[in-house]
Copies of this chain bind each other. A is one copy, B any other.
């Protein structure tokens, strides 16, 4: 049987330990090609490079556990996927996996996520796609406990296919042992309570650092946040048709057109 072709990317950059762990796991399931940013792209959302040039080159990061083919790219995660599909791969990949992100992309974080933007970009192009994230921002995070679940989810996705118009957002709790299981969830309602720290530069110019605190607004036990809090892996099927269909009738009652 022909091995599946697996496109691997991320947003922390091509040398990130989370990407290297994902490559190692994917090497067991198929033929792996990596196209990943040459520098960290966290918080890039679904940015693309339109008024600037893109560079890409073949690289070897790890002779032992790397992928047979790896390319670094100067662009965003969404750029990497576009470039891979259009210029680098000679056939459509069977699946695109992005991550494993160093840090959570659960709940509202999906909106800001470069990891998920790569997966969504692949999904828009009709390729089954999954973003993986570990709720541990450390560069030295321990990805080992996630790898069995990662392989299981990718295998099942290759076997069953992912529903059309949908990509999977998978988050792992920070754990030293294997998670308690895998739960299919909805995105928890939440936002960030921002804080800006104002500082003054040596030349007297004011500037800000953005930071904030995650604020969960959702007590449901069917959410990704709940699953993660209980030691489970959360899987949220995520769509890129953003239409709020339920809101259409209400807005149709507005006086928008001259009568």
Contact = CB atoms under 8 A, between A and B. Distances in A.
Interface stretch (A20-28, A29-37, A93-101, A230-238): A230-238
A235 B210 contact: no
A147 interface: no
Interface string A219-246: 0000000000000000111111111111
A71 B40 CA distance: 29
Contact of A124 (B44, B82, B111, B246): B111
A83 interface: yes
Interface residues of A, number: 83
B207 A55 contact: yes
B208 A87 contact: yes
B191 A125 contact: yes
B207 A243 contact: no
Interface stretch (A1-9, A60-68, A250-258): A250-258
A141 interface: no
B208 A166 contact: no
Residue of A48, A165, A243 contacting most chain B CB atoms (<10 Å): A243
A64 B110 CA distance: 41
A56 interface: yes
Contact of A195 (B43, B86, B163, B236): B86
A92 interface: no
Interface in A61-120: 78-79, 82-83, 85-87, 108, 110-112, 117, 120
Tell me what chain A mostly uses at the interface: helix, strand, loop, or mixed. Answer: mixed
A53 interface: yes
A209 B48 contact: no
A102 B117 CA distance: 23
Contact of A209 (B54, B186, B242): B54
Nearest to A117: B45
A196 B165 contact: no
A106 to B, nearest CB: 12
A205 to B, nearest CB: 7
Contacts of A198: 87
A81 to B, nearest CB: 10
Contacts of A48: 43, 45, 112, 210
7 A-B pairs with the lowest CB-CB distances in the bound complex, closest first: A45-B46, A45-B45, A237-B247, A239-B244, A237-B244, A163-B247, A182-B256
